[in-house]
Structure formats: structure tokens, C-alpha cells
Structure 1
């Protein structure tokens, strides 16, 4: 016999009492369906509240548990609402606040210590239906039945927001015990065609990665990282999130293994995508901002990616915006220190590009910061490349436009030798 569902612990009169102000607040909330959509997310939320009609005697604990799950899902949607998210932007602050009070009351009525404890107990009841809704609206559902009506896309978007909020309520160490339940649902969201659904899957995975042990992800790491790779060509609006979650999950699951083929695959996917859009400022700034932990984890294994890396670095060093230039200088310096650019043909070209950037920086607002980065990098190159650096540097020593650079560089070298 299956154990009783956790939601059955909440008496029905308590569910109705808790739901009453939520129903009133929802009814008073202004709402207009999104343009071009006939689906009402307000009606969807209303359907989650327990009915005030008397319950059939045969319903018992199962029916009460279903009503408790619906009420929790209502509150999850209201708490997940934000002006940033089109599907739930209409939810007023008063309704979100009422939902926050409602989940506290639910936890108390069911005898749980807090909301997090209640969510842990009810996860097996609320997550599977959310996964089913998201999966049913995917384009290529494997078990799609001919003639079967799919739920509207808006239902999947709301389900993804509900799931993200529920996951965020559970922290270490309890979330680790729920990996079997939450990771398949998060993967289903990542595989969805809707950017809004994908984003909620990504946010959920970031919380999961920060709240479980790396060993608890072992069983799922290949599926997770494969999904991350498939999402790298995402729309501009998702690119920052895509890189953020990919870097976090890659370093979290493969941290102690720089030889992991996942590092090579992920970095190659990202570089290949950036190579096709090198002038896309939004993408390059996000990638340069977030990729550091992958570089650090890979160390010398970055050498295999130098051709694409330096091709992009050399382009971005001369970008119009100072943010790109400063970020790319930081990343190049990091790569130099991690690899000493061993057996690399890029030393001479790098010196030339740094000298050219030094000249170009005269018109930049961040001129002094850029020039300090260049000087520090030249000093590092001199240390690690020795004769190769001297040969590349020699041709610039007679350049009359580099008097200031030569003076500052010699001063820095003298200071480094004496320290």
C-alpha cells in the first residue's frame, strides 16, 4: 500500500480558509490575455484553488491531497511572478504577498516546521504534473499520440515558473535527496522550445548545482551537460543565462578532471558559436565575463583551443567598447599565466597586438586602465617567453610613438627584478 500523500496532512477546512483571501485577491486582479492568445493564465490559476463545494465522502485523503497540491501550485505561481516575465507579469504584489502568507499557514496547518520542509514533503505530488505539462508542449514529444490535444504553451510557461519557485525553496542538504525528481523536470524545461521555459530550467539548475553535492549529480551529468551544449546556440536574450549555467554545471561536475571531454566539447561549442558572431557585443561581453572558471579548471588543456581563442581575442582587443577590451585583456592575461602559451606561435602576434592597442588607447576613456593591463601582460610575457619575447619586442623599441610605453615598461621590469 502506498504511503499517504503529504498534502493530506492539511485539514480541508484549513485549505478552504487559506484559499479564501487568495480567491478574492485573484478575482480583483486586472487581467487581459496576451495579444494573439486565447488562453487565460488567470483562469488556470483559479482552477488550482480548492473548490468551496462539499467534498464527496469517497474523496478522502486523496482528494484533500490533490487540493493541497493545487493550492501550493497556485502559491508557487503567484510567488514566482515578476514584471520581467510576460506570463505572470499581471499578478499584483498584493496577491504575491498573500500567497507568501498562505504557504506559511499551510506549513503550520500540516504540522511542518517551515515552508521548505512542507515543499520537500509535497514535491512528489507537485513536480510530476508540472513535468508532464512542459513535456506535452514540446515540439518533438516522443510519445505523442495522434489527435491528442496538447495544453497551451502558456500552461508550460506557468509550470516552469512554478517549478523554479518550488526548487528554490529547498536547500542543502535536502535537495540532494530530491535529485531523482527535480533533475528530469529541469531537463525537460531545458529541452523546451520556449525561451521563457528554458530560462526557468536554467535558473532551477543553477540553484540545484549550488545546493547539492557534486557526487549527487553523477548519475545525471552527461544528460545535463549535453542539454547545456544543445542550448549554446540560444537566442541573444538567453545567451547570458546559457553561458552562466553551462559554466557552473561544467565546473561543478567535472571540477577535478581537466581531461574530461566535456570541457573540450563545451568550450569548442561556445567558441564555434562566437566565431560565427564575433561582432555581437552582448554575446562576447557575457562570455568573457563568465568563462573564467572554465579556463582555470582546464589549465594547460586550453592549448588545444588556442587557434579559435586567439583569433577571437585578437579581434576583440580592438573592439569599439572599453568593456570588451578590458575583459579580453583580463582573459588573455589569465590564459598566459595558466599556460605560459607553451609551444605557441601566438607570442609575436600578441606582442604586436598589445603594442597596437596601446597606441589606439590614446582616445579611450579607460586609457590608463587599458595601458596598465598591457604593461602587466608584457611583463608576464617577458618572464615566460624569454628569448621569443625579446625577438618580438625588439622591433618596437625604435618606434618613436612608443616612448611612454618603453619608459613605463623598463621601469616596471626594473621594479620586478629588484623585488
Structure 2
């Protein structure tokens, strides 16, 4: 890869980020009355990342797109202000970046995807960057959910202590991001990624917030469907080999 190709990728990322930032700035937003945490303030640093590495900037951009895209399936009052056109822009922008990324890092991406035991030829082009990001994104999201979970080792006011250090609203937003990433992975690929997804899902299920738990129910359902599909496929293969 050349410096010019990486520079072109950075320019693409900047253009896509600016487009979303401009649309985000034009979108009316009122902070939730029970929280002093702004979802816009949560998103903006991810879209205006000044990370020195292109990989870190791409990860931040992906996290922002995941949250904006989540409003299409979420009933959360925290995301209800996001209009459909902004969600669609986020999805389209991430997929465009995915294609641009492969023009520069195709070989590296192929290696990363194959490390999961997946065949790159069977993975849609627009999903390959997402798969490469999972080993970085999922532990990051897991830690984000865990930050506001109740620490069972504390004998004092566990609930208020956890909430004051890391507001539960962040955990709810993180759970939406986690759901989006997992639901983007199609059969049969998700079955081979359970080792990454399950620890995150279990952390979220153990959280005290009902809204965090609710989002993870969809993740667990997705995992169950993927597992059942893999089992049926293996059973079919076994029957075919016996013929």
C-alpha cells in the first residue's frame, strides 16, 4: 500500500464524517429530562476523531454509525430524535467506507476474516470491514456496559455508585451499538463468532438496567438462530456424506 492510497482513504473518511456531522448539527435535539448526558455529545467525538492512526479513526466512525443506525430498530427515548434520513446516511456511509477500505487493505482484511474461519468469497464486501473490527469493538463495548454495572464486591450503595461513576445512559447506548454490530452478521458467519459475542452478551444480561437487558435479548436470539442453523447444516452434511 502507498502513502497516497492511505491519504485517499483518510480523505474519504473525513468526507463521510463531515457529511454526518453536518446532518447531525441540523437535527433538533433536546437532552432527556432525567439525564444531563447528551447523545449528540456522545456522538460528536467519534465523528471528529483526531486519532493518529487510520484504524482508530475508522473504529470510532463505525461506533458512531452503529448508534445512529440503531434508531431504525430501537424504541428507546434516547434515540427517538434521530430521523430516518440520518440513520440511512450513517448506514450508507459505513458501507461506502468499507468498500474504500478494501481498496487499500484488501490483503490484510482477507487475512483477518479468514482467521475467523470464514471464506472471504462468501462474505459480502460491505460486511468485511465490520468483521475485521469485531475483535476491537466487542471488548470495547463489553467494558462500556460493565462500567455502570453493579459491583457485587461493594458493600455500600452499589446502585448509586455505579451510576454516578459511569451513567447508565452510556451503557444503554453501548447496548444499542452492540446489537447493531451483531445483527449485521449474517448466517453462517455469526456461528463462528460466538466466542467474541457471547462474553459481551453475558455481561449485558447481568446488567441491572432493563433497557440494556432488552437490547441483548435480540443479540441472544440472533445467536440462537445462528447456532441452530449451524447444527442443521452440519446434520445435513453428515447425511450427505452417508449417501
Shorter-chain TM-score above 0.5? yes
The separation in 2 between residues aligned to 1:69 and 1:203, in whole angstroms, is 23
Deviation at 1:142, TM superposition (A): 5.4
Would you say the 8 A contact 2:71–2:79 is kept in 1?
yes
The separation in 2 between residues aligned to 1:198 and 1:162, in whole angstroms, is 13
Give the aligned partner of residue 198 of structure 1: 213
Matched, 1:126 2:137: yes
Larger Rg: 1
Which of 160, 177, 183 does residue 168 from structure 1 map onto?
183
Give the aligned partner of residue 72 of structure 1: 62
Deviation at 1:92, TM superposition (A): 1.2
Deviation at 1:50, TM superposition (A): 3.3
Give the aligned partner of residue 27 of structure 1: 25
Deviation at 1:11, TM superposition (A): 2.5
- SS of alignment partner, residue 132 of structure 1: helix
Aligned length: 201
Give the aligned partner of residue 192 of structure 2: 177
Would you say the 8 A contact 1:116–1:170 is kept in 2?
yes
- SS of alignment partner, residue 165 of structure 2: coil
The separation in 2 between residues aligned to 1:183 and 1:159, in whole angstroms, is 15
Would you say the 8 A contact 2:191–2:230 is kept in 1?
no
Q: Map Cα deviations across residues 53-110 of structure 1 (whole Å, 9 max, x no partner).
A: 6x6xxx3xxx211110110111110111146211211111111011011011111111
The separation in 2 between residues aligned to 1:20 and 1:78, in whole angstroms, is 15
Would you say the 8 A contact 2:188–2:229 is kept in 1?
no
Q: How does 1:308-387 map to 2 (within 5 A)?
A: none
The separation in 2 between residues aligned to 1:26 and 1:64, in whole angstroms, is 23
The separation in 2 between residues aligned to 1:44 and 1:158, in whole angstroms, is 9
Deviation at 1:162, TM superposition (A): 0.5
The separation in 2 between residues aligned to 1:214 and 1:97, in whole angstroms, is 29
Matched, 1:109 2:107: no
Would you say the 8 A contact 1:164–1:203 is kept in 2?
yes
Which of 88, 95, 102 does residue 97 from structure 1 map onto?
88
Please, what is the CA RMSD of the aligned residues?
Answer: 2.8
Q: Map Cα deviations across residues 358-377 of structure 1 (whole Å, 9 max, x no partner).
A: xxxxxxxxxxxxxxxxxxxx
- SS of alignment partner, residue 45 of structure 1: helix
The separation in 2 between residues aligned to 1:22 and 1:134, in whole angstroms, is 25
Q: Which shows bigger deviation, 155-164 or 73-82? A: 73-82
Structure 2 alignment gaps of length 5 or more: 1-5, 107-123, 233-243
TM-score normalised to the size of structure 2? 0.74
The separation in 1 between residues aligned to 2:8 and 2:186, in whole angstroms, is 23
Would you say the 8 A contact 1:19–1:71 is kept in 2?
yes
Q: Map Cα deviations across residues 230-249 of structure 1 (whole Å, 9 max, x no partner).
A: xxxxxxxxxxxxxxxxxxxx
- SS of alignment partner, residue 32 of structure 1: coil
Q: Map Cα deviations across residues 162-219 of structure 1 (whole Å, 9 max, x no partner).
A: 1001000112222122211111101111111111100111101101111235889xxx
Structure 1 alignment gaps of length 5 or more: 1-7, 217-251, 253-419
Q: How does 1:385-400 map to 2 (within 5 A)?
A: none
TM-score normalised to the size of structure 1? 0.44
Deviation at 1:114, TM superposition (A): 2.4
Give the aligned partner of residue 110 of structure 2: none
The separation in 2 between residues aligned to 1:128 and 1:14, in whole angstroms, is 27
Distance 1:214 1:105, change over 3 A: closer
The separation in 1 between residues aligned to 2:66 and 2:149, in whole angstroms, is 22
The separation in 2 between residues aligned to 1:186 and 1:208, in whole angstroms, is 10
Matched, 1:210 2:200: no
Would you say the 8 A contact 2:68–2:86 is kept in 1?
yes
- SS of alignment partner, residue 212 of structure 1: helix
